[in-house]
Amino acid sequence: MKRRLFALLHAAGLTKLAAWRNRRRVVILCYHGVTARERRMAEDPTGLHIRFARFEAQLDYLRRNFNVLSLSEYLAARREGRALPDYTVVITFDDGYRNFYTMAAPRLRERNLPASLFLTVGKIKEEGKQGDWSPEDDIEYLSWPEVVELKRGGVEVGSHTVTHPMLSQLPLEEAERELRESMAAVAGRTGDAAPPFAYPFGDYTPDVVERARSLGYSCALTTDAGANEPSEDLYTLRRVLIGDDDDVPAFAARVSGLTAVLSRALPA
């Protein structure tokens, strides 16, 4: 039902109208994986790993309708007080699945689109494997040599903790250790002394936010829905989750901010 509604709204031009109303806000997209599988795998019932044809269609929609900037470009503009282009979008990926290397990065590179990758560093392997995509890539993680290669190719690398816990459920000292040790791992491998951070599950508390700020992360990203105002706190930046159910009309509704309105009116 929602898909039909999104298709009607898209055909009527309402997603473009919503995007125009939100044109001065920055949308940060949150992906997890991209797969060559034609059908969703049983291990991924919620569709975190997007089929590559759908991902390509989403990227092409962004190229036609938005200005895709890197996270570092967004942060630099914020620090310097510069206005960003209308319709600015930032692309991010969480966790560090190997299919970012085999499936997502080549498609981003073909379109000259920047992206940031947030690593659960305790799951990143010391040694990589050779070859193109294989079905195991959907649930396997990157290796550090692959991460370094991606970094050299222009991908921005950030921290997503060591073990991917619910930070709000940990004693504050343990939560701080997750932030501190993952930051050190990313900085040591990439040379970036102040990488960005993404909260696992989008879960955080005011104390955890202050730890991320005081440790020297450049910013911290949640999964709180919606676009970011010019004055948004850099340590509670909002993101829009994208999944395998999002065909172009649904994707357009998410990027435009229309789903934020519809979520208050539609049943879950």
The number of domains in the chain is: 1
Sign of the C-alpha dihedral computed for residues 37, 41, 43 and 48 taken in this order: positive
Q: Domain range spanning residue 30?
A: 2-8+21-262
Cα(260)–Cα(91) distance, integer angstroms: 19
| Domain CATH number, residue 69 | 3.20.20.370
On the 0-12 / 13-18 / 19+ scale of CB atoms within 10 A, 80 is: exposed
What's the chain's average pLDDT? 94
User: Is 242 strand, coil or helix?
Assistant: coil
- Phi/psi for 179 (5° steps) reads -70, -45
- The pLDDT value recorded for residue 260 is 76
- The pLDDT value recorded for residue 268 is 47
82 located within any domain:
yes
- The pLDDT value recorded for residue 131 is 81
- The pLDDT value recorded for residue 265 is 58
In DSSP terms, 174 is beta-bridged to none
189 located within any domain:
yes
267 located within any domain:
no
- The pLDDT value recorded for residue 266 is 58
- Segments in the chain below pLDDT 50: 268
Cα(65)–Cα(105) distance, integer angstroms: 21
Q: Across the chain, which distance is largest between two alpha carbons, in Å?
A: 52
268 located within any domain:
no
**Is-above-0.75 flag for pTM?**
yes
14 located within any domain:
no
Cα(61)–Cα(227) distance, integer angstroms: 18
- The pLDDT value recorded for residue 196 is 98
Element (H, E) at 28: strand 27-31
27 located within any domain:
yes
What is the token pair recorded at 155? 């991908």
13 located within any domain:
no
